[in-house]
Structure formats: C-alpha cells, structure tokens
Structure 1
Amino acid sequence: MLEIKNLKTNFNTYDGVVKALDGVNLSVKDGEIFGLVGETGSGKSVTCYSALQLLPKTGEVVDGTVLLNGEDITHVSEKRLREIRGGEIGIIFQDPLSALNPVMTINEQIGEVLTLHQDKELRQTASDKDIPVYTSKKFSFSPGIEFTVLAVCISFISLFSMLGQFSFGLPFFFIIALMLLRDYLQQDLPDSALDIMVMESLSKVKLPNPRQIARSYPHELSGGMQQRVMIAMALAGKAKILIADEPTTALDVTIQAQILQLIKDIQKEENMSVLLITHDLGVVAETCERVAVMYKGKIVEENTVDNIFKNPQHPYTKSLLNAIPKGGKERLKVPEIEEHGAIL
C-alpha cells in the first residue's frame, strides 16, 4: 500500500548540508501494523515527513520514490497532496498540544477535516435527517468559558449576600438566568450534520461526553484526551493508512497503554495499515507485526518482530536489544556502529 524506495533527504544548514536520509527503503502492506524503530535522530520522523512533503524550508527530498497504492506521489501537485493528507494517509504527531490549534475548538478542527475530505457524506447526512449541513443554530461558548462565567457570578452573589447588599448581586443572577433560558430555548434545535459527525469521530476514540469535548479548546483537555482527539482527526477523513509518530512519548505509562490499545482496536475495526514510529522496543513487541530498524538515516534491518527479537542480524540491532534494561542498576549505552551495513 505504501512503498518508499531509495528516499534521500538533505537539510541545508549554516554548517553545510546534512544528510538526514540516505537511501531509505520500506513498504507497509495492507492491514498490517509496521514498526519503524531507532534512536532519537536516526531519521524516523523525517521519513514520514518526507513521504508527505511536510518538511521545513531547509529540508529537501533529493532522490527516491514514494508510492501510494501504486501511484507515485513524490512530485504530485499541492491539490493532490491535500487530498492525500488526511483523506488517504492520516498522521498522529508526537505532541498533540503543539499539533492542535490553540484558538480553535475541537469541533472546528475535526470539522475542517470532515469538510475537506467527507463533504459528500456531510451533505448526505444533512439530507437524510433534514438538518443544516455545517452550522447549527445553537449558540454557546466553550465549556471553560461558561464555567468561568458561572463561577464568577456565583462568587459575586455570595460576596454581596455576605455583605448584605443583595441588590448588587442581581445583575449576576440575571446573567445566570439568561444562560439557563438560552439552554432551555435551544434544547430542541437540531445539531448540524457536521456537529453529528464530529461527535461520532470523538465517540469512536472512546472519549466521554463528546458534545462537551467538541466545544472545548485543546488546553482544556488532558494529555491523553488531546492524543485521542488527534487520533479522531487522523481518522475523520476515512484514511486507510495511519502514521503514528511516537504517539505515546508525552504520556504517562497508564495512558500509553490505553492509546496503543486504541490504535490496535481501530486498526482491526477499519482494517487499515499503521506505520508506528517509536524508539521503544517494548511498544514494537506488543503492537507490530513487522519492524524496520533505522540507524543514521538508513534501514539496516527489516524482519518480522519475532525474528528481530530472537535472531537479530545487524550489529546495531543486537546493540539495541542488549541496551534494554534487564533489572540491573547500571545504565547501558548503545555502542557506536561505524558501518551502516546492508538491509538484512
């Protein structure tokens, strides 16, 4: 489904040209979870950014081919790239808080993906249910703002009550009454098709109270919830390939396990392919079917997970496995491997 051939990427710096990728070759098959493992700086993330042409201005793909279902997407137009990103290939970034727009609600951000890639389905849903396509007539602020307004009003009402100045608290009673009246008058207004599909996307990643989350801003959510929102955005466009770029790096151990299980469950339900980028061999062992080991911009070994762990061939792979803590207190270091070696 996704095949990368002899991909070479350079970065132009003040100190000269840095060869980030030096002939990367890998293929992700239909319906499999493929792991790409290596130490920090080995070129894992640059590989996926090069494939989707998401490199910064200093980066440049100088050679190689990227095939998606047989189509060469290495030099396609920006319009075609916009169709591919989110519509055919979804991506989960390392830090969800940095990847999400801080001034847009979750509803607006997932809605943008749906509008771009699922417009036909949106219109069909609106037609079937006789509801607006994009915008509901309901009005409200984000849950954080509404909670703040209520808290301020209640605080001033309590303050003026203690001071015996009840009349000064009346405007704050009036604000609360207006908010309650608004909710009562809007309770029978239908959601738009876009709102419904956003909430379905959030429900799919097992987020509680999707309506409230849809109205929230990213900073109002926990790290685990932000990552689930990122997964919902990656899946909203019905992509058949999911690139997960170290999706558990910024999360604690308990949440890591939940996110990895969620990715595995969705992969089975949707029969999609997953390229999982990580430096954690434990994650690879639990999640992936095949794995490629990356070192200094090259794939030095590619095999099934069982074979990589039981019978590693390349010296760097052996060093990685030997560096896994085995219960002792001594901190082990991956030895420097001078030769890149061939793919084994």
Structure 2
Amino acid sequence: MPERGQLMRTLVALAVTLVAGAALLFGAPARSGTPQPLSVGAAWPQAQRGSVASHLPDGSLYTPGLFLDARTSAGTARTPDNRFLSLVVVEADGTVRRLRRVPSADRSPFTALTSSGDTLVWVETVKGEPQLWTGDRTARTTARQLTDDVGELRLYDSEYDLTIVDGIVRWAAADGDGTEFRSVAVTGGAVKVQREAGDWGLSAWPWAVDGQTAATGASTLRNLSTGQSVAVPTGRRSVTACSPAWCEIVSINEEGDTRIELSHPDGSARRTVAEGQVGTVISDVVVLDRFEVMGRVGPQSELSGNQELLVHDLTDRSTVLVSPDAADISYRGGVLWWSTGDRNSYVRNALDLRTI
C-alpha cells in the first residue's frame, strides 16, 4: 500500500496534469478576484536564501539530500561516467568537500541524511541492504559504518527518518505486523530495539505516529518514553498526518476541491489554511511548529508540470508564494529546497525557514 506522503504527492501530480489539460483547452482559470500571496522578499526580507547548481565544477551530477543552511548542503555526487558516487558537502563559497567515494554499481545514492552539529549520519544501500554510516561534515575524520543491523528500515522522506538526539541515532523498522524503534549511539556500539504493535513512524522524539500506510492516515500519537497515547482527529473522507504539536487534515470539499485544515492533536484551534487545486508536498506536518508547506496548480503548470510552492505561516495566518514554478520539493531540519528550470538545466533553491 502506498505511503501517505507518496499518495498525497501522486494525487497532487494528477491534479496538475488534469488542470493543465483543461487550461490548454479552455484557458487558464481566472485569478483576478483571488488575493495573491506575497513573495518571500516582500513577506520575509530577512530570510536567508541560496541556490546550488545541478552539476559540480568537475561535471558530477549533484543531488542535495540535506541543507545545513540556505547556502551549505550535503548530498550525492555522481561522476559523469556514472562509475562512482560520492557523499560531498558543498560550502557557501562553492568549496566541495568529499566525505566518501564508492563505486556506483549495486548502490543507491546516499539517503536519509541528518545532522547534529558537525556530525552527519546517513543510509547507504548496497545490493538492496541498508547500512548506517556517520562522518564529520568538515572531513576532519574518516567516515565509518555505524551498523548494518538496521532491520527492515522504513524511510518516509521525512526529517524524522533518522534522528540524532542526545548522541543517539534513532529510526523505525518494520517488524511483521508491528514496528521496531531502533537506536545506536553515534559513537557506535550495539543496536537497541523497542517493539510496538501497529504501523508506526518516528516523529519529534520521543513521539511516534501511527497510520503510515493507512488510507486515512494517522489516528494516534504515542510517547515512546512514557507510553502515553493521544488520539488525533480522523475522518472517513480525509487523510490525517500529525506531529506532536499539529495535525494536518486533507479532504475534498463540496465543490470537489482539496481542503487543507490544521488543528492541534486534541482537535482544538482547527482552521482551514487552503482550498482549491492545492495539496501537501512534503511528508512533515507544520515544520518548526509554524509553517505548513503546500503546492498549488499555477499559471505555468500546464507548460512545466510543476506547481506553485506556498508556505502558510501560522503566526499571522498569512500565505507566502515561495516559487511560482517549483519541482522536487524537499525539507529537512528547518530548510526548504526545490528545483527550478528544466531537465537539462536546473537549479536547486533553498530557503532557511529558521531565519524568518
């Protein structure tokens, strides 16, 4: 069964395609009567922004997997001859620092990157078998394998796929009809396992959320330290996703448009933040407990297949247009990034939401 984040992105992509086709036949929908959101420059002039090219100076194709700030990133570099993959850090001044280089045969790109200070942790997959690795972003020390005892690793394209809290790396793994919450010290050692019945994923530690593959999404938050469980808003015709602070409820309204609502897990402070040809574009809910990230079909969607990238700020209930034509939207650790351009020439742009 598809994961909630993948399902929602598929539905949004389908909406883009259908509306784009209608626009080609009948013209783009009128927007003159709809209040338009402010740009990032107008709404958040202090926000730090940056960009990184699709290719490094040596010609390697670069795919960032984590932005440490708006101008510094870490990710996978693939050599032009497709023989090698490297994990690199690209600094704000363009300096490229390589942490690891491996043959590309039988390997996937480096994934689930996360950081704590100068410590990076990531997943390497060799012949379908995942391993956990760590290294120093400054490359002062050699990268090393933490463990290959990762279980049936679950990755949901979330910033919580791997977390580092108090020197402990944590992740979720499938366990038959249940879930294993696994952990290992960032310095190494034995892997510890905590088992829970049901289908769970990690959220902000020590919380977990269920319903990772359920059609209606989440129904419960659980504190893995105390065992406390909190029931969250659900509905037969909606998909729910939650963090410990907020829940996101996505449904179809009476006109057949998508409605995105937010509430606290106890159901309070419920409000609609968007309606229309909109959808969620990242797995994480109300990042930094403040910003809801969304996509919307825009005037350029019929040509590019991309969408407008919007961010709703809960502090003043304003919505900001981050990009009118965004693709490959991602988020980790306070930084939002996306691609602009075409397949042959594109740039990844970044916005550090922590600086707003």
Same fold, TM exceeding 0.5? no
More helix as a share of residues: 1
More strand as a share of residues: 2
Q: Which has the higher contact order (CA 8 A, sep 6+)?
A: 1
Higher Cα Rg, which structure: 1
TM-score, L = length of structure 2: 0.28
TM-score, L = length of structure 1: 0.28
